Amino acid sequence: MTAESFEDRRWRAVWHGIRLMGVQTRGAAAGAARAHGAYAVAAAAMGRLLSAAALVGSDLKETGSYLRLTAEGGGPLGRVRAEAHADGLLRARVDHPGIQLPPTAPGKLPVGAAVGSDGSLVAERVAADGRVYTSASELVSGELGEDVAQFLWSSEQVRSAVALGVLVDRDGSVAASGGLLIQALPGADAKERECLGERVATLTNLSWRLAAGERVPDLLGWVVDKPLADWVVESLHFGCRCSPERSRQVLLVAPPAERRAWAQEGGAEVVCHYCGARYRFSPDEVMA
């Protein structure tokens, strides 16, 4: 599947012992929202977690490896999940995309209330050979930016400042989506680190600035108060890994009695929870 022709990107640089990363994910957020028919707050939550996964998973190199983030805080959205793959593919899902909640302020969607904070943020790093490395931390607010920063500190002991933003237009379309991640490397000046964290914290209007046309590298330059040029730039895109072959694996693990029942009912249909694609199997295919 493809999203609108937005150029999603990730930028990385190191400046005076500070790691700077930023992502533009409007295309991926729009693709996920459209695939699920998501209402505004669900689209915003998926977009934020997509940006977080793209930032935290920036070190993925091995083909076939990916990072999966799952936020489950007891809110009405249920589980929110996003994946970032080594080749730049992004995808997301949410249990209840049709949830509607009133804004907490003009232009401010109640993502924290929708996600909830009575739960955890779980990260699963899946290697190309299928090995899974899992770490988790308790949710702080459900707003996801603070939660990702807390996760990075508790699981990796890395002080991080995180800003995530998604702007959903009145017609339900995603007008902007992106995120910034600032991390202090070992030996970084403590005072400089604290100052940068304060500047990131003032980016409460990140989504509006992106919608107005400001570029992620310029926003990161604003954080460090210096124009930067030496960026590593990587392409990101919305997509899915589902296929008829993968869907057959779902049938293979079903008990024989269930397969016989599906065959008698005219066949089976497997629906991808990420992109909504439907794969239909005839009675003969089910039994085979």
Digit-by-digit pLDDT tens for the chain (288 residues) are: 344 446 899 999 988 788 899 999 999 999 999 999 999 999 999 999 999 999 999 999 999 999 999 999 999 999 999 999 999 999 999 999 999 998 887 778 999 999 999 999 999 999 999 999 999 999 999 999 999 999 999 988 888 889 999 999 988 899 999 999 988 877 766 666 666 767 777 676 889 999 999 999 999 988 888 778 789 999 999 999 888 888 888 888 888 888 888 888 888 888 888 888 889 888 888 887
Whether residues 233 and 259 share a domain: the answer is no
Alpha helices in the chain (DSSP H): 26-36, 40-56, 111-115, 145-156, 190-201, 206-211, 216-224, 244-252, 256-264, 283-287
How many domains does the chain divide into? 2
At 128, the amino acid letter reads: A
CA 252-254-258 angle, to 5 degrees, is 125
Whether residues 32 and 78 share a domain: the answer is yes
Q: What is the CATH number of the domain that holds 55?
A: 3.55.30.10
Does residue 282 belong to any structural domain of this protein? yes
**Phi and psi dihedrals of 220, rounded to 5?**
-65, -35
Does residue 117 belong to any structural domain of this protein? yes
Question: For residue 224, how many other CB atoms are within 10 A of its CB?
Answer: 18
- This prediction has a pTM of 0.89
Whether residues 27 and 168 share a domain: the answer is yes
Q: What is the CATH number of the domain that holds 274?
A: 3.90.1280.10
**Residue 87 corresponds to which tokens in the numbers above?**
């080749």
DSSP state letter for 283: H
Domain of residue 222, residue span:
9-238
Whether residues 234 and 248 share a domain: the answer is no
Whether residues 65 and 171 share a domain: the answer is yes
Q: How far apart are CA 236 and CA 267, in angstroms?
A: 37
